[in-house]
Amino acid sequence: MLSSLVLTVLICLIVCAFIMGMVWLWAKKIKNAGVVDIFWSFNFPVIAILLLILADGFVTRKWLICGMVILWGSRLGIHLGRRVIKHLHEEEGRYAQLRKEWAPKAEQKFFTFFQAQGLSNVFLSIPFFIITQNKKPELSIFEFFGLGFWLIAIIGEATADWQLDNFKKNPDNKEKVCDTGLWNYSRHPNYFFEWLIWMSFFIFALGSPSGFLAIISPAIILYLLFKVTGIPATEEQSIRSKGQLYIQYQQTTSAFFPWFKTK
């Protein structure tokens, strides 16, 4: 079983590294590193499909968790793809800033960054590896609860994305800060529900042996959102583009939790 798991992980690593290598070549050609976000999302469905083929756990459980991953990753990838492709020749501010900071070796550093993203896909998939190895022929209460939690989270994330898209489509809102719907309470409701999705995978994994190890994934996502590529980078770019309007928005909304409004 261990050798089978190691082989599965190795195959996922090779496939994700190859995909990110191809994406880096494309990004280098079009001078837009923002495309990495699209394929970071799509790599999870790729891993899920590989697990459906390679993992030897209970078939119903495999289809359930892999179906959840495929639906979530595909929706997120399509959403990000639409956003990036609309401005394919205009690099998103976060990546444009990195390009400036990393010059004159930006392309080499972006290659390392892209490969790190592929590695993170596999590492964050710990819950999926654990779950799809479970051969127990019946589902547990944790798995049903995880599924319910996932449904709430993915609806919340899709709602936040839809509200932001609608706001941006209105030409009257150009240069304004989205503060409608969930965005009236949280500056990042999409990130909040994204984290809840990872929590649902952890809850689902508790129905499998060693499932408690799956807490690593939502813990890492929470750290990344608060300290690395999530909220800090997004808010720095928002201040650069919106200025005082965004600073005022920061003062009246929660950084993360949609139900908490500071004023």
SS (H, E, C) 94-157: HHHHHHHHHCCCHHHHHHHHHHHHHHHHHHHCHHHHHHHCCCCCCCCHHHHHHHHHHHHHHHHH
Based on the domain organization, do 65 and 106 belong to the same domain? yes
Share of the chain above pLDDT 90, in %: 68
Do 116 and 147 have their domain in common? no
Q: Final residue of a domain: which of 103, 137, 171? A: 137
Residue 233: what pLDDT?
78
Same domain, yes or no, for 123 and 152? no
Give the residue among 194, 166, 203 at the shortest CA–CA distance from 181: 166
User: Do residue 247 and residue 205 come from a single domain?
Assistant: yes
Write the single-letter amino acid at 147. L
What is the domain extent for residue 90?
1-137
Do 31 and 55 belong together in one domain?
yes
Q: What is the pLDDT of residues 58-72, one digit of tens each?
A: 999 999 999 999 999
Whole-model pTM: value is 0.91
For residues 52 and 117, membership in a common domain is answered with yes
User: Which DSSP symbol is given to 206?
Assistant: T
Bridge partner residues of 254 (DSSP): 186
Average pLDDT over residues 164-181: 88
Helix (H), strand (E) counts: the chain: 11, 0
How far apart are the C-alpha atoms of 69 and 125, rounded to whole Å? 10
Amino acid identity for residue 172 in this structure: D
Residues with Cβ < 8 Å from 30, sequence gap 6 or more? 88, 89
Q: What is the pLDDT of residue 260?
A: 64
Higher pLDDT, 176 or 39: 39
Name the domain count of the chain: 2
Any idea what DSSP says for residue 182?
G
Say whether both 126 and 231 belong to one domain: no
Q: Say what the pLDDT of residue 263 is.
A: 53
Q: Which of 55, 12, 69 is nearest to 201 (CA)?
A: 69
Per residue in 186-214, pLDDT (tens digit) is: 889 999 999 999 999 999 999 999 999 99
- Is the pLDDT confidence value at 2 over 90? no
For tokens 């920061």, the residue is: 250
9 and 131 both lie in a single domain: yes
Which residue among 80, 113, 137 closes a domain? 137
**Is the domain of 133 the same as that of 144?**
no
Q: Are residues 117 and 149 in the same domain?
A: no
